[in-house]
Structure 1
Amino acid sequence: MGHFASLKYFFKKNKWYYFWGIFWLILVDLAQLLVPEVLRRFTDQLQAKTLTTRDIYLYGIYILLIGFAIFLFRFLWRIFIMGASRRLEYELRNKLFSHLLKLSTNYYTHHKTGDLMAHATNDINAVRMALGMGIVMLTDATFITVVAITMMARTTDYRLTLLALLPLPVLALAIGRFGKVIHKRFKDVQEAFASMTDTVQENFSGIRVVKSFVQEEEEISKFDAKNENLFEKNMKLVKLYGLFHPFIQYVSALSFIIVIGYGGMLVIYGDISLGDFIAFNSYLSLLVWPIMAVGWLINVMQRGTASMARLNKIFDEAPEITEADAPIKLDYFQGNIEFQQISFKYPNSSVNALEDFSVKISAGKSLGVIGKTGSGKTTIATLLLRLYDVDTGQILLDGKPIKNLELEDLRRNIGYVDQDSFLFSTTLAENIAFGVDSFQQWEVERVAKMAEVHDNIMSFPEQYKTFVGERGVTLSGGQKQRTSIARAIMKNPQVLILDDSLSAVDTDTEERILNNLKTEMKGKTSIIIAHRISTIKECDEIIVLENGQIIEQGTHDALLQNQKSYYELYQKQLLEDKIANEE
């Protein structure tokens, strides 16, 4: 039960639900234990020929009352105990989702979506079962067993009771062995399910790539292999279940054989009455469920414990990016940014993404960043947003290290458009207004016009209410990029970062967007990362990156006069544009 210690807060908050649930459950068990006594008296009176018509009606009423009590109390314990377990499921799922969102970016580079989805579904469900039906089975197994055995020994015959219970130790040992194997096979099922879920998620997210490369059959084959693996693991578990329950019933049947043989002799010799014999068999029948419940309980608790251990492992993960003990809240961001001798390498990488990198951007100015793929351009944005922390050096914002600033404050004042241009499965208006708490339609339209996507949106049948497919699959690359730009502007940030976010836009549209941004970002700081010189040539300063280091720095005109890397790239792009125009 050590793994469930992390749920102490929940038990404390919901203790009365469990208390009343167990109370009503015990009343159900007591009501069931009254049935053998009614049968005992009825049979004894019938054998003694003292049973009257009035007695028959009276015993019938007793049975009806007991049945109604069982019905009512069973409904109540289900409401309280199962209701508490559903509340636990709700809170656990919320807690898991909230915790996962707080974890650092690096966590998701080492954990697959399929695994995390398995934790959010199967594992939480297993914990719910352990602390719902598990509580019920534990209570039933304990209370009914103790009371039934006591009644059998006291009201019938202790020797018959001992003989009837002889098979039970064998059953207990067998259940323990079964439980260990069940635990292992259930773990195998969980892992197979996570692997299959991950394959499904990847294929649905990359459906365009799958279709464009005509890989449907290959991916179906891969999925079939994962699905077959899950099937085989489930079948191994099912086969064990198939053996488990018949075995319990078989061992239980041995007790009835003993009772019929020895108990029948006691009735013949007059040591016990026929009513005692029937009542004893009724008590023994009631014991079958607790014995089976022990088996179920071990299984459910094994699953729940294993699942809770996996969940605790996630909950114990601490975000790598944390705030200072007394974070600084800036009332106003001027937008002065300074990278001081930054060196940084991504986890599990042996090469620095940035090395001895220093640059200063004054408030209200724009910095253009250009370089080959893998030169460290995106890392500048990643570090400024504190998605990762630098290895050496420091980044200053308005003269203060960003490590000392409130994370929420820092990120809220930076508008970031990444290369992926990720969109959510909701309306275009809600995607654009994602970073604000409330919005007016005219505000959404204003920023959409600045991003040159308004006309595209108005051409859709549902316009701004158009529902975007998963990851923006219903939009073109250029439309996604421009929608993402509108979303960043909507935040009214003091710092705007465009990370190669105009690559899918034609040069005319690009020019109009940049002119619009120049007006919008007047007095604010901009960092524009690009592969095309046309995107950054109007920036106040431009840096050229290679292997994480600045190899050139200056204005567009100054860099052309240097006739080095920037100049060579400019000439190459001019030639490419000329060839494209001639075609």
Structure 2
Amino acid sequence: MLSNFKTLKYFFIEHKWAYILGVVWLIFVDILQLILPEILRSFTDGLQANIVGRTEIIRYGVYVLIIGFLLAFFRFLWRIFIIGTSKKLEFELRNKLFSHLLKLSTNYFNKSKTGDLMAHATNDINAVRMALGPGIVMVVDAVFITVIATIMMFLTTDVRLTLLALFPLPFLALASGRFGKIINQRFRKVQESFSSLTETVQENLSGIRVVKTFVQENKEVEKFAQKNQNVFNKQMHLIKIFGIFQPLIMAISSLSYLIVIVYGGTLVINRDISLGDFIAFNSYLALLIWPMMAAGWVVNILQRGSASMARINTILDVEPEIVDREDAVSIENPRGNIRFINTSFKFPDTDEYALENFSLDIPPGSNIGVIGRTGSGKSTVASLLLHLFEAQEGEIQIDGLPIEKIKIESLRKHIGYVDQDSFLFSTTIADNIAFGVDEASREEVQRVAKIAQVHENILDFPEGYETFVGERGVTLSGGQKQRISIARALIKDPQILILDDSLSAVDTDTEEKILAHLEKEMEEKTSILIAHRISTIKDCDKIIVLDDGKILEEGTHDELLKNKNLYFELYEKQLLEEEITKED
């Protein structure tokens, strides 16, 4: 179990004194709690012997008051040192996990569920914090108080009374441990059901337009009600076990008190022990109840923390598939000469080539168009050029340098990429546009927005560039999202610009204006336009037509029309669609 926490060795070394001092203050608290029964013993025996006067009462009262203040002070200290340090651990571990996730390759996220990763960053990290915060407190309390209180009971009172009084307490520990496991299981089911409910809410709010256009409000309300009912049922299932647990613990602990009252009272009557001994013994017994309960809980907390740490370690042990080679170099001022040389690529866990024997020479400053049917490998060209994946065969060069020998950060810094999704963050439009640069003036943000033909749209919003977009840009139209994404790519001033079907939601008039401005902006820079629509790429210097991952034909717009092959077929089909649209 402890082996799972080896990942945190650096943290324990760095914060060892915080934990050590926290345990010291915790032991001080336990010692002070163990002193109180002795004060009660002395005070009660003094009262019984009629030797306690006003002065002694005040003195004993001052003792109790001093101990109370010291208890409060040392409790504050151990909470700061132990619980505070566990909070630092939670903070650092969450940062470590998040930064590691961002370093992982794209393929990892293709195989992992976002919900599971979110659970690791929340529930699992919290379980680790509980194990290395409250868990440590419970261990120290359970061990120290149990040992010292038991010794004091044996030494200061009666051995037979001690043995009889302690007899029910192991059953208390066993019951606590058993119930702890059941509670953990049921609590996990509550969390799972709540996670499912949250996912339903998130999907419906993100896809509210789809829900409304398909008139599925009532059906989705029913689905939500079912999952909400499931959460309620699981919570009631948990509450019932809590309802049994607390009375059972009280019942078992009351057996010890019953033994003490009956047998201990008899010993007092027979003068085998004093009344002070009887009261002190009850005080020690009260202190033992909590450690016995904690014994079961602490095992479960440590088990949960260990299991959660193991799941986190599974992620932290994943190595990025795409990393900088030792001989990788940075490129400062690339010319933008791109060459694909007999490049072949298969996505992981597939046997079919997404690109096969793909060769293409893109001179610096040229404008290349890529078109083909869905699934022909168009987006794969962009993914390989961005080094999101590595080709299994062949080579990709930029300015004569193999892409594997270029540092990833340096490579992507010089490429402006707009994908099909046009993902926007839940922040202002200005922040979304300036996302890829450290600092950007409002003038620069507006300049690229004008090139992307979205400036006027932004000004129509009440807050202008300070307008907050909804999650994933849901408050904007598809065309607005695409144009903001184009502006975000342009503000980097990239030497290579890749537009991956990022004008599909824009009308043809706006598309022509954007392309005209891009031609001026990207003069002497390399552009790759991936599209389904021929109007997007017809003016490119060169157009390649992909089919099943292979280059079927290449040339200018006019040359490809003369070939009367796939490009001509796509062109004729789109002309017919435009005619039908005009007639409607």
Shift of 1:582: 4.3
In the alignment, the residues of structure 2 paired with residue 469 and residue 490 of structure 1 have an alpha-carbon distance, to the nearest angstrom, of 22
1:139 is the counterpart of 2:140: yes
SS of equivalent to 1:550: strand
Asked whether the equivalents of residues 396 and 403 of structure 2 are also in contact (C-alpha less than 8 Å), the reply is yes
1:505 is the counterpart of 2:506: yes
The amino acid of 1:574's aligned partner reads: L
Structure 1 residues 227 and 163: alpha-carbon distance in aligned structure 2, compared to 1, 3 A threshold:
same
The amino acid of 1:365's aligned partner reads: S
Q: Report the more deviating stretch, 152-161 or 337-346.
A: 337-346
Aligned to 2:423: 422
- For residues 433-475 of structure 1, the C-alpha deviation after alignment (integer angstroms, 9 at most, x for no partner) is 1100111111111111111111111222221111111111121
Asked whether the equivalents of residues 115 and 194 of structure 1 are also in contact (C-alpha less than 8 Å), the reply is no
Aligned to 2:301: 300
In the alignment, the residues of structure 1 paired with residue 127 and residue 452 of structure 2 have an alpha-carbon distance, to the nearest angstrom, of 48
In the alignment, the residues of structure 2 paired with residue 206 and residue 300 of structure 1 have an alpha-carbon distance, to the nearest angstrom, of 39
1:562 is the counterpart of 2:552: no
In the alignment, the residues of structure 2 paired with residue 242 and residue 493 of structure 1 have an alpha-carbon distance, to the nearest angstrom, of 64
Asked whether the equivalents of residues 113 and 201 of structure 1 are also in contact (C-alpha less than 8 Å), the reply is no
Structure 1 residues 216 and 105: alpha-carbon distance in aligned structure 2, compared to 1, 3 A threshold:
farther
* 1:50-89 equivalence runs, <5 A: 50-89=51-90
Asked whether the equivalents of residues 176 and 293 of structure 2 are also in contact (C-alpha less than 8 Å), the reply is no
In the alignment, the residues of structure 1 paired with residue 313 and residue 224 of structure 2 have an alpha-carbon distance, to the nearest angstrom, of 30
Shift of 1:305: 2.1
Aligned to 2:336: 335
In the alignment, the residues of structure 2 paired with residue 565 and residue 187 of structure 1 have an alpha-carbon distance, to the nearest angstrom, of 56
SS of equivalent to 2:505: coil
Shift of 1:166: 1.5
In the alignment, the residues of structure 1 paired with residue 73 and residue 254 of structure 2 have an alpha-carbon distance, to the nearest angstrom, of 31
- For residues 116-142 of structure 1, the C-alpha deviation after alignment (integer angstroms, 9 at most, x for no partner) is 222222222222222111111111111
The amino acid of 1:242's aligned partner reads: G
SS of equivalent to 2:574: helix
Shift of 1:189: 4.0
In the alignment, the residues of structure 1 paired with residue 313 and residue 102 of structure 2 have an alpha-carbon distance, to the nearest angstrom, of 16
Aligned to 1:472: 473
Structure 1 residues 348 and 213: alpha-carbon distance in aligned structure 2, compared to 1, 3 A threshold:
farther
Asked whether the equivalents of residues 114 and 201 of structure 1 are also in contact (C-alpha less than 8 Å), the reply is no
Asked whether the equivalents of residues 173 and 294 of structure 2 are also in contact (C-alpha less than 8 Å), the reply is no
Shift of 1:180: 4.2
In the alignment, the residues of structure 2 paired with residue 35 and residue 338 of structure 1 have an alpha-carbon distance, to the nearest angstrom, of 82
- For residues 518-571 of structure 1, the C-alpha deviation after alignment (integer angstroms, 9 at most, x for no partner) is 111111111101111111011111011111111111111111121222122222
Q: Report the more deviating stretch, 520-529 or 4-13.
A: 4-13
Shift of 1:493: 0.7
In the alignment, the residues of structure 2 paired with residue 477 and residue 49 of structure 1 have an alpha-carbon distance, to the nearest angstrom, of 90
Aligned to 2:21: 20
In the alignment, the residues of structure 2 paired with residue 389 and residue 206 of structure 1 have an alpha-carbon distance, to the nearest angstrom, of 34
* 1:31-430 equivalence runs, <5 A: 31-430=32-431
* 1:424-463 equivalence runs, <5 A: 424-463=425-464
The amino acid of 1:42's aligned partner reads: F
Structure 1 residues 233 and 351: alpha-carbon distance in aligned structure 2, compared to 1, 3 A threshold:
farther
In the alignment, the residues of structure 2 paired with residue 190 and residue 327 of structure 1 have an alpha-carbon distance, to the nearest angstrom, of 46
SS of equivalent to 2:417: strand
Aligned to 2:10: 9
1:529 is the counterpart of 2:530: yes
SS of equivalent to 1:293: helix
The amino acid of 1:571's aligned partner reads: E
- For residues 380-434 of structure 1, the C-alpha deviation after alignment (integer angstroms, 9 at most, x for no partner) is 1111112222232222222222122111111111100111111111111111111
Structure 1 residues 103 and 222: alpha-carbon distance in aligned structure 2, compared to 1, 3 A threshold:
farther
Q: Report the more deviating stretch, 195-204 or 374-383.
A: 195-204
SS of equivalent to 2:348: coil
Asked whether the equivalents of residues 25 and 73 of structure 1 are also in contact (C-alpha less than 8 Å), the reply is yes
Shift of 1:368: 0.4
Q: Report the more deviating stretch, 345-354 or 538-547.
A: 345-354
Shift of 1:226: 3.6
In the alignment, the residues of structure 2 paired with residue 200 and residue 338 of structure 1 have an alpha-carbon distance, to the nearest angstrom, of 47
Shift of 1:183: 4.5
Q: Report the more deviating stretch, 414-423 or 80-89.
A: 80-89
Structure 1 residues 242 and 79: alpha-carbon distance in aligned structure 2, compared to 1, 3 A threshold:
same
SS of equivalent to 1:358: strand
SS of equivalent to 2:493: coil
Structure 1 residues 199 and 96: alpha-carbon distance in aligned structure 2, compared to 1, 3 A threshold:
farther
- For residues 288-339 of structure 1, the C-alpha deviation after alignment (integer angstroms, 9 at most, x for no partner) is 1111222321232232222222222222222222221332212221111112
Shift of 1:100: 1.6
- For residues 144-203 of structure 1, the C-alpha deviation after alignment (integer angstroms, 9 at most, x for no partner) is 111111111111122221222122333334444444444544444444444333333333
Structure 1 residues 239 and 394: alpha-carbon distance in aligned structure 2, compared to 1, 3 A threshold:
farther
Asked whether the equivalents of residues 369 and 537 of structure 2 are also in contact (C-alpha less than 8 Å), the reply is yes
Q: Normalising to structure 2: TM-score of the pair?
A: 0.95
- For residues 1-51 of structure 1, the C-alpha deviation after alignment (integer angstroms, 9 at most, x for no partner) is 222221111111112221222222111111111111111111111111111
Structure 1 residues 325 and 223: alpha-carbon distance in aligned structure 2, compared to 1, 3 A threshold:
farther
Asked whether the equivalents of residues 40 and 276 of structure 1 are also in contact (C-alpha less than 8 Å), the reply is yes
The amino acid of 2:221's aligned partner reads: I
Shift of 1:358: 1.7
Asked whether the equivalents of residues 117 and 197 of structure 1 are also in contact (C-alpha less than 8 Å), the reply is no
The amino acid of 2:146's aligned partner reads: T
Q: Report the more deviating stretch, 233-242 or 47-56.
A: 233-242
In the alignment, the residues of structure 2 paired with residue 220 and residue 102 of structure 1 have an alpha-carbon distance, to the nearest angstrom, of 39
Asked whether the equivalents of residues 114 and 196 of structure 1 are also in contact (C-alpha less than 8 Å), the reply is no
SS of equivalent to 1:124: helix
Q: Normalising to structure 1: TM-score of the pair?
A: 0.96
Q: Report the more deviating stretch, 470-479 or 217-226.
A: 217-226
In the alignment, structure 1 segments of 5+ residues that lack a partner are none
In the alignment, the residues of structure 1 paired with residue 68 and residue 558 of structure 2 have an alpha-carbon distance, to the nearest angstrom, of 93
* 1:491-502 equivalence runs, <5 A: 491-502=492-503
Asked whether the equivalents of residues 180 and 297 of structure 2 are also in contact (C-alpha less than 8 Å), the reply is no
Asked whether the equivalents of residues 335 and 494 of structure 1 are also in contact (C-alpha less than 8 Å), the reply is yes
SS of equivalent to 2:340: strand
In the alignment, the residues of structure 2 paired with residue 2 and residue 322 of structure 1 have an alpha-carbon distance, to the nearest angstrom, of 28
The amino acid of 1:140's aligned partner reads: D
Aligned residues with identical type, % of pairs: 64
Structure 1 residues 232 and 391: alpha-carbon distance in aligned structure 2, compared to 1, 3 A threshold:
farther
SS of equivalent to 1:321: coil
In the alignment, the residues of structure 1 paired with residue 347 and residue 212 of structure 2 have an alpha-carbon distance, to the nearest angstrom, of 32
In the alignment, the residues of structure 2 paired with residue 525 and residue 93 of structure 1 have an alpha-carbon distance, to the nearest angstrom, of 40
In the alignment, the residues of structure 2 paired with residue 323 and residue 137 of structure 1 have an alpha-carbon distance, to the nearest angstrom, of 46
**RMSD of the alignment, in Å?**
1.9
Q: Report the more deviating stretch, 555-564 or 207-216.
A: 207-216
SS of equivalent to 1:553: strand
Asked whether the equivalents of residues 115 and 198 of structure 1 are also in contact (C-alpha less than 8 Å), the reply is no
In the alignment, the residues of structure 2 paired with residue 3 and residue 241 of structure 1 have an alpha-carbon distance, to the nearest angstrom, of 30
The count of aligned residue pairs is: 583
